[in-house]
Amino acid sequence: MKTVFKQNTIPNKSTITNGFDKIDYFDTYRITQYTDASVEEIATEIFKLPKWASCLMTIRNFIVKIFGLKTGKEETESGKIAYFTVIYKDENEIVMGDNDKHLNFRVSILVDRRKSLLYLTTIVHFNNILGQLYFMPVKPFHKVIIKSTLKKYLQTRT
């Protein structure tokens, strides 16, 4: 049975922390899945959000726009995957994210092809109290969405 595992550390081979000053929150989830797809293809597939998650993002975008925060609207322009700007990419990892007034975040998909492992890591730095307040209600949804997207990815691969 394929499942999603939560890890207590950021993978050693990940570049997600490069240029990131302080980490106030992180999580890493791991699945076992062989793939020969590129990290960009994997990221595109993983971040095809289910309708309920897309609805949550629409609500989030409406609310944060009032406060002058970035909405991260889904775009297909070069350099973006789903809602995320690509910051770094090589054959085994893609790092996406954004910096805003309230917080900075990065999301990494790292593939260890030799061991057939795929890691999805998120790191967050709060720039001010607004970032902390923003993240409190977001955090539980973040965890559910990440696990859900990885489970969906596993189901499409079997």
Q: Kindly report the CATH number assigned to the domain that includes residue 13.
A: 3.30.530
Q: Stretch 87-116: mean pLDDT, rounded?
A: 94
N-terminal to C-terminal alpha carbon distance within the chain: 11
Distance CA 146, CA 52 (A): 13
Structure tokens at 29: 């989830």
Q: Quick one: average pLDDT of 136-142?
A: 90
Task: Specify the pTM.
Answer: 0.83
Per the DSSP assignment, residues forming a β-bridge with 30 are: 5, 119
- State the chain's mean pLDDT as an integer: 85
The per-residue pLDDT for 74 is 44
Each residue's pLDDT tens digit, 15-32: 999 999 899 999 999 999
Mind listing the pLDDT tens digit for each residue in 33-92?
Answer: 999 999 999 998 888 765 665 666 666 566 656 656 565 554 444 566 767 889 999 999
* pLDDT on residue 30: 97
Q: How far is CA 111 from the centre of its chain?
A: 14
Task: List the beta bridge partners of residue 126.
Answer: 103
Handedness of CA 148, 97, 86, 19 (dihedral sign): negative
Count the domains in the chain: 1
Residue 121 is predicted with a pLDDT of: 98
- Closest to 14 (Cα-Cα) out of 108, 131, 89: 108
For residue 118, give the nearest of 41, 6, 30 by alpha carbon.
Answer: 30
Residue 64 is part of which domain span?
Answer: 5-156
